[in-house]
Amino acid sequence: MAMVELRDVRKVYDDGFEALRGVDLDIEQGEILALLGPNGAGKTTLISTICGLVMPGGGSLTVGGHDVVHDYRAARQLIGLVPQEVSLEPFEKVINTVRLSRGLFGKPKDDALIEDILRRLSLWDKRNSPVRALSGGMKRRVLIAKALSHEPEVLFLDEPTAGVDVELRRDMWEIVADLKARGVTIILTTHYIEEAEAIADRIGVINRGEILLVEEKASLMKRLGRKELRIELSEPVDTVPAALADRELRLEDDGRVLVYDYDTAAERTGLARLMSELSDAGLQVRDVDTRKSTLEDIFVDLVAQQEEEDAA
Ligand SMILES: Nc1ncnc2c1ncn2[C@@H]1O[C@H](COP(=O)(O)OP(=O)(O)OP(=O)(O)O)[C@@H](O)[C@H]1O
């Protein structure tokens, strides 16, 4: 059984807005899943539903085998949530606010554990500062410390690096990697494709309340390993010359550009031979250019495809 299991999860808000439209998702123990999606895609709704903060309108959700609705307390014990918005007690000392979070889960006092968490998050030196005296980045770390205080097995991070500087973003990625090494299952939402690329084991794309794709990052990256060679001809042609028919070239730009797709990881890309075949066919090359598909292209294609399907 997966650590987190969602089956046909639906959510319609009171105003009739359909925020989740039948989500199926399995998240395995110890993995990092990045949920990527544009504003309003349903990422926060999805996380909040798994964490029991938003009631699902249908379907089933379990965490560690516990039903999130019917066995809420047991499921919630396993979950740490780092919310998108900073919501902290401003006058409380850092260490107390983290201790308090642990207490709220009914866990016994454990100063050694709290010290370990604060040290890992580089907050130990600030432990006696009131929260309001911390920088925005430090406050985010306190949110993580609070979420870890009751030793959750599954950690949800809702846009952990929205609006933070590059340095803090990299720190966050390290913190996430360290948690994974400790066996924590991590689900994070993000707008940043490079963030998903940097830290996720699997990447899910969500738009308009639907999961459009969930795939191992490695296999996604393989698909991204394809490159396009764009060959600009001195004179436009009407058709691809017969001698080049086997090459599966595409003609674009009113016959001015020949496009050749190839795999950058392949032993032989066939580029050198292609160039000599072009010259044998009497085609003069004016310029060449290459283009690599990115996760962003895949993402944009998926979203556009869904919009077409919705419109149909
Ligand atoms: N309480 C609510 N009542 C009505 N509609 C809501 C409510 N909460 C969220 N929505 C709507 O549901 C949709 C999904 O919102 P959600 O916050 O889950 O998206 P998101 O993917 O997290 O977006 P963002 O990246 O902007 O945080 C949005 O259109 C939002 O306006």
Protein residue closest via CA to atom 17 of ligand 1? 44
User: Is the domain of 231 the same as that of 194?
Assistant: no
Could you tell me if the CB of 184 is within 6 A of ligand 1?
A: no
| DSSP run (H or E) holding 36 | strand 32-36
Q: Which of 195, 222, 249 corresponds to the end of one domain?
A: 222
Q: Are 6 and 47 in contact (CB under 8 A)?
A: no
Model confidence at 182: pLDDT above 70: yes
Tokens 């998702």, residue located: 25
**CA–CA distance, 23 with 54 (Å, rounded to integer):** 15
Of 9-13, 38-42, 84-88, 223-227, give the lowest mean pLDDT range. 223-227
Residue 183 φ/ψ region, left for φ over 0, alpha for ψ in the -120 to 50 degree band, beta for the rest: left
Q: Is 159 exposed, middle or buried (0-12, 13-18, 19+ CB in 10 A)?
A: buried
Residue with the larger pLDDT of the pair 308 and 117: 117
Q: Is residue 312 domain-resident?
A: no
* Count of C-beta atoms within a 10 Å radius of residue 200: 23
Q: What is the pLDDT, as a whole number, of residue 252?
A: 92
**CA–CA distance, 232 with 259 (Å, rounded to integer):** 9
**Taking all residues of the chain, what is their mean pLDDT, rounded to a whole number?**
90
User: Is the domain of 237 the same as that of 152?
Assistant: no
Q: Which of 40-49, 246-255, 272-281 is modeled with the greatest confidence?
A: 40-49
User: Is the domain of 217 the same as that of 234?
Assistant: no
User: Is the domain of 25 the same as that of 160?
Assistant: yes
Residue 224's pLDDT band, with cuts at 50, 70 and 90, is low
User: Is the domain of 161 the same as that of 250?
Assistant: no
Could you tell me if the CB of 190 is within 6 A of ligand 1?
A: no
Q: Is residue 274 domain-resident?
A: yes
Beta strands in 101-225 (DSSP E): 154-158, 185-190, 202-207, 210-216
Residue 278's closest CA among 302, 312, 247, 304? 247
User: Is the domain of 242 the same as that of 179?
Assistant: no
User: Is the domain of 231 the same as that of 215?
Assistant: no
User: CATH no. for residue 279?
Assistant: 3.30.70
CA of 140 to the centre of ligand 1 (A): 22
Tokens 């699997």, residue located: 202
- B/e letters for 10-38, b = 16+ CB within 10 Å, e = fewer, are bbeeeeeeebbeebebebeeebbbbbbbe
Protein residue closest via CA to atom 9 of ligand 1? 45
User: CATH no. for residue 29?
Assistant: 3.40.50.300
Q: What is the pLDDT, as a whole number, of residue 146?
A: 94
Total number of domains in the chain: 2
- When pLDDT is averaged across residues 220-234 and rounded to a whole number, the result is 82
List, in order, residues 6 or more apart from 77 with CB less than 8 Å away.
Answer: 105, 150, 152
Could you tell me if the CB of 204 is within 6 A of ligand 1?
A: no
Protein residue closest via CA to atom 25 of ligand 1? 39
Structure-block tokens of residue 249:
């070239």
Q: Is residue 210 domain-resident?
A: yes
Q: Which of 222, 253, 278 corresponds to the end of one domain?
A: 222
Could you tell me if the CB of 39 is within 6 A of ligand 1?
A: yes
- When pLDDT is averaged across residues 190-218 and rounded to a whole number, the result is 89
Q: Are 252 and 305 in contact (CB under 8 A)?
A: no
Protein residue closest via CA to atom 2 of ligand 1? 13
Could you tell me if the CB of 19 is within 6 A of ligand 1?
A: yes
Could you tell me if the CB of 78 is within 6 A of ligand 1?
A: no
Q: Is residue 298 domain-resident?
A: no
Q: What is the pLDDT, as a whole number, of residue 225?
A: 65
Model confidence at 101: pLDDT above 80: yes
Q: Are 214 and 204 in contact (CB under 8 A)?
A: yes
- For 68, 80, 98, 128, the CA distances from 72, given in Å and listed in that order, are 5, 14, 22, 34
- When pLDDT is averaged across residues 214-230 and rounded to a whole number, the result is 81
Protein residue closest via CA to atom 30 of ligand 1? 40
User: Is the domain of 255 the same as that of 217?
Assistant: no
Q: Is residue 66 domain-resident?
A: yes
CA of 44 to the centre of ligand 1 (A): 7
**CA–CA distance, 269 with 295 (Å, rounded to integer):** 22
User: Is the domain of 129 the same as that of 190?
Assistant: yes
- When pLDDT is averaged across residues 253-268 and rounded to a whole number, the result is 84
ipTM above 0.90, yes or no: yes
User: Is the domain of 121 the same as that of 135?
Assistant: yes
Q: Which of 201, 222, 243 corresponds to the end of one domain?
A: 222
Q: Which atom of ligand 1 is nearest to the CA of 54?
A: 1
- When pLDDT is averaged across residues 239-267 and rounded to a whole number, the result is 86
Q: Is residue 302 domain-resident?
A: no
- When pLDDT is averaged across residues 124-150 and rounded to a whole number, the result is 93
* Residues of the domain holding 260: 225-292
Q: What is the pLDDT, as a whole number, of residue 99?
A: 96
Q: What is the pLDDT, as a whole number, of residue 269?
A: 77
User: Is the domain of 152 the same as that of 191?
Assistant: yes
Q: Is residue 71 domain-resident?
A: yes
Q: Provide the residue type at 187 as one letter.
A: I
Q: Are 229 and 288 in contact (CB under 8 A)?
A: yes
Specify the pTM.
0.80
Q: Is residue 99 domain-resident?
A: yes
Residue 153's pLDDT band, with cuts at 50, 70 and 90, is very high
Model confidence at 170: pLDDT above 90: no
Q: Are 209 and 21 in contact (CB under 8 A)?
A: yes
User: Is the domain of 215 the same as that of 260?
Assistant: no
Q: What is the pLDDT, as a whole number, of residue 241?
A: 86
Among 15, 21, 43, which is best to mutate for testing ligand 1, by the most ligand atoms less than 8 A from CB?
Answer: 43
pLDDT in tens, 261-304: 887 767 777 888 889 999 999 999 999 998 876 767 777 777 77
